[in-house]
Structure 1
Amino acid sequence: MRDSVIGKIILTLTSCAFIYYFSWLLLPFIQVEDDWIHSLFLPVEFAFMLPVIFGIFFIGALSLFTYFHVRKYVKIL
């Protein structure tokens, strides 16, 4: 696949995830008479736990990446 096609796919998936997450966060503040829309989303507690979990994972992965790539150039102890 060409890079432009892969970029469009990534942009589309990221945009869909952003719209889903944004509407998930706003849903508790909107009075909805039909309850079917609430069945499309997980409980609100997960809306706050998932970014924390992914943030911790990202910071840990970035730290490990930096540690293993920098240790060749810097002698520690």
Structure 2
Amino acid sequence: MELGDKAVGFLLTMTSLSIFTYYTFWVIILPFVDNDHFVHKYFLPREYAILIPVLAGVILLSFLSVFLGFVMLKSKKKKTT
């Protein structure tokens, strides 16, 4: 494995771990912290904790549907020719 592949893998792993830690703290731990605590200024409002993953899921499913549609159209054109 090349050094560049390892660096990209490490970067992706650290990014994923950071997002997971931030989201876990935001959704599970933050509701039990007092509202006037200073840590609340580092997080978005709680409504976004549901809105962001739902929006990301809709975008991902839309992209996958369009991709599958193109693949199906291309395979249909190859079979007819």
Q: Is the TM-score greater than 0.5? A: yes
Q: Could you report, residue by residue, the CA deviation over 1:1-48 in whole angstroms, capped at 9, with x for unpaired residues?
A: 6111100000000100000001000211x1348611011100000000
**Match among 5, 8, 17 for residue 6 of structure 1:** 8
* Fraction of identical pairs, as percent: 32
Q: Name the structure with the higher helix share.
A: 2
- Which residue does the alignment assign to 1:42? 44
Residues paired across the two proteins, number: 74
CA distance in 2, matches of 1:54, 1:33: 28
Match of 1:43, SS state, is: coil
Residue 55 of structure 2 corresponds to residue 73 of structure 1: no
Stretches (4+) displaced over 4 A: none
Report the AA paired with residue 26 of structure 2. W
Bigger Rg over Cα:
2
Given the two structures, how large is their TM-score scaled by the length of structure 2? 0.83
Uncovered stretches (5+) of structure 2, i.e. residues with no partner:
none
TM-score by length of 1: 0.87
The answer for the alignment partner of 1:20 in structure 2 is 22
